[in-house]
Structure 1
Amino acid sequence: MIRVLIVDDSPVIRLLLRSVLEHEGFEVREASSGEQALRLLEGYRPDIVTMDVHMPGMDGYETTARILERHALPVVVVTASADAYAAATAMQALEAGALAVLDKPRGPGEPNFEACVAELLSTLRSMVQVKIVRRPRGAKKALVVPASPSPIPAAPRLVAIAASAGGPVALKALLSPLAEQPWPLLLAQHIAIGFLGSFRDWLASICRLSVRVAEHGQVLRPGVLYLAPDGHHLGVGQGLRAQLQAASGELYCPSADHLFRQVAQQLGVHGVGIQLSGMGRDGAEGLAELRRRGALTIAQEPSSAVIDAMPLAAIKLQAACQVLPPEGMAALLNSIALRSVSRSTGPEGD
């Protein structure tokens, strides 16, 4: 039996979630505030926590951060995507280490109620299996950069990044230190429908890059990070143009494998592929194809990932030329960018 702690200040929502979860055989306890949740956790060990974000007193971001400081528990944010403040706070909770964000079910009379409930149940059942480590705030990891980095086979023209659960933690560590990038970046991040705008704004707040939702056929510009629109896979076509493909029931959307394969086919040795935290093995095969084409491929060092399954799958396939923590990836990209700019502006490539 899966034990769930529901944290939400609304008694109506707590009752609704309790009813849904108990009907499916879950054991449920409730907390009406972040402060109450922390007190309960001193003597109760759930398997997973569902977290609202807009609560009086301690909000969902601070509560999530404090839970993960003290307890190795998976946290899933359940909030209203239509509420701009709640959606923005949900992004902060993901940054703190929450595994996923889901739209809150609004009641049996709503058109998307069954879909929301199905996604909630599926997410809780999958995330409860994730091994979580405590995340002390302020702890600094040593920067790891390869002592003898593999030679860069050719000047990159595009960087493709893939992430899923735990991705925002890695993305902040990767993107925040990036200097100006002389190439476009494409990101396939699994995120619930309705939260893309808040996710884009959060990314823009943590890095120097311009962050945009891609439009089909647009020319991809240097120094811009492009995201897939809801319900679409993202790729690249001839002339360095964005290619969007509507998803049709695939398990992962946007698909990391789709992104990496398109980059491999269109750019080959001139592509860079980065595989970050996530569940499952999406991206491993595509990253392997990129490496076979001679591209630079990097997998997140597993011990630095909130969830190590995606990078481990790539490593086991020998799809990664290098294995680095996100900070090391940023240092490497900055080094390549500096070299690329120097070659383009200096005499005889100096």
Structure 2
Amino acid sequence: MSTAPPTRVVVVEDSPVQRAHIVAVLQATGQITVVAEAADVPGALEAVRTHRPQLVTMDLELPGGITSELGGVEAIRTIMAERPTPILVLSVHTPSRESGEALVALDAGAIDVLPKASAGDGAAAETLRRRVRVLSGVPMVRRPRATAPVPTARVTDLPVIALAASTGGPGALRTVVAELRGVGAPVLVVQHIHAEFVESFARWLQETTLMPVTVPGHREAARPGVVYVAPADTHLRLGPGRTLELDPEPELLSRPSADELLSSVAAHAGPAAVGAVLTGMGDDGARGLLAIRQAGGRTFAQDGESATVDGMPRAARDLGAAERVMGLEQIGRSIAAIAAGGR
């Protein structure tokens, strides 16, 4: 009986102690092999060019950069431009500065972010190994990263907008949400991301889109023009009277679940619902988006050419849930036009 070859990984970390720990954790079970290590930006780029790994783990505080960005972010941009490779950012356990920088790294092209596993934390070590094995098989594409223009129209009496994304989602959501400034409709967001980064993601989304963004409380009223990001490990749903409901049940594979959000918007907004499924692994969101379409709402799925990972949007397209399939800027502008009373 044949077994799969070990996953080939490059580890980029400037601290020798941290680097040795990461290598030991990754190689502990024999399913992952570290083909190269690097401690700075030039070393990271050379290791990827030479060894062509299936995945790169990336520290953000790297020396050797030549731009004003963090070294790790500069390395990510260069790798994604030269040889697109899944990059997993390993960030220190801080809720403020570096976790915010991790969101910048996701926007630059990293595929996911995890806290660095402490020595002796077996659960975190297994999470890291499992995430490396899953992400190493994700196909990556080389694509330009344009800044979305900001619309100026203001509208009222608009629908409920629900957006769902997973892997590659922060940058995609930033592009779509930036198009919605001035739209007088609540925007509900499910982004699959590690629990430690939810609050930082919300702050980053607000800073980069200039939209008011918050993580809501249970039974909070959904206000027009505000973006609501689902809390960690909790489903976000639209309830009666356009209130927001938070519930940890059911314990699905994805929590928060895009299907839970989109289905609730279909149930309580009906023809006024607008849903979009963006880049991500798996099929979460496809059934919920179909529910919106069947309720008479408007539905969108990101096209495969622009999606970092064409799993969730492809599932929505295959199910016939998406009324329109298009790129991110087009999705944002189309939703804004619908909210303004256009087609």
TM-score where L is the length of structure 1: 0.88
Q: Are 1:7 and 2:12 matched, yes or no?
A: yes
Counterparts of 1:179 and 1:137 in 2: how far apart (Å)? 20
Matched residue type, 1:210: P
Counterparts of 1:64 and 1:6 in 2: how far apart (Å)? 13
Counterparts of 2:199 and 2:117 in 1: how far apart (Å)? 20
The SS at the match of 2:340 is helix
> Equivalent residue for 2:248?
246
The SS at the match of 2:220 is coil
Counterparts of 1:127 and 1:276 in 2: how far apart (Å)? 17
Query: CA 1:230–1:95 in 2, change beyond 3 Å: closer, same or farther?
Result: same
Contact 1:178 1:208 in 2 (8 A): no
> Equivalent residue for 1:161?
163
Counterparts of 1:123 and 1:275 in 2: how far apart (Å)? 22
Contact 2:159 2:339 in 1 (8 A): no
Query: CA 1:4–1:229 in 2, change beyond 3 Å: closer, same or farther?
Result: same
Could you list the runs of 4 or more consecutive aligned residues of structure 1 that deviate by over 4 angstroms after TM superposition? none
> Equivalent residue for 2:152?
none
Paired residues, what number?
322
Deviation at 1:270, TM superposition (A): 1.2
Aligned partner (choices 4, 18, 21) of residue 23 of structure 2: 18
Matches of residues 141-290 of structure 1 in structure 2 within 5 Å?
156-247=158-249, 249-290=251-292
- Over the matched positions of the two proteins, sequence identity in percent amounts to 38
> Equivalent residue for 1:56?
63
> Equivalent residue for 1:32?
39
Contact 2:186 2:227 in 1 (8 A): yes
The SS at the match of 1:304 is coil
Deviation at 1:192, TM superposition (A): 0.4
Deviates more, 1:168-177 or 1:305-314: 168-177
Q: Are 1:337 and 2:342 matched, yes or no?
A: no
Note the residue ranges of structure 1 that are not aligned, 5 or more in a row: 142-154, 341-350
Deviation at 1:250, TM superposition (A): 2.1
Aligned Cα RMSD in Å?
Answer: 1.8
Aligned partner (choices 291, 298, 304) of residue 302 of structure 1: 304
Counterparts of 2:260 and 2:141 in 1: how far apart (Å)? 31
Counterparts of 2:60 and 2:249 in 1: how far apart (Å)? 29
Query: CA 1:242–1:84 in 2, change beyond 3 Å: closer, same or farther?
Result: same
Provide, for residues 160-204 of structure 1, a one-character-per-residue CA deviation record: whole Å limited to 9, x for no partner. 000000112211221223331111000000010111121111101
Deviation at 1:62, TM superposition (A): 1.3
Matched residue type, 1:161: L
Note the residue ranges of structure 2 that are not aligned, 5 or more in a row: 1-5, 66-70, 149-156
Deviation at 1:56, TM superposition (A): 3.1
Deviation at 1:132, TM superposition (A): 0.6
Counterparts of 1:67 and 1:199 in 2: how far apart (Å)? 23
Contact 1:275 1:311 in 2 (8 A): yes
Counterparts of 1:88 and 1:35 in 2: how far apart (Å)? 24
Aligned partner (choices 111, 129, 133) of residue 99 of structure 1: 111
Counterparts of 2:116 and 2:317 in 1: how far apart (Å)? 36
The SS at the match of 1:269 is helix
Q: Are 1:119 and 2:112 matched, yes or no?
A: no
Counterparts of 1:337 and 1:290 in 2: how far apart (Å)? 15
Matches of residues 303-322 of structure 1 in structure 2 within 5 Å?
303-322=305-324
Matched residue type, 2:113: V
The SS at the match of 1:46 is coil
> Equivalent residue for 2:154?
none
Counterparts of 1:135 and 1:6 in 2: how far apart (Å)? 24
Aligned partner (choices 118, 134, 139) of residue 142 of structure 2: 134
Deviation at 1:133, TM superposition (A): 1.4
Matched residue type, 2:13: D
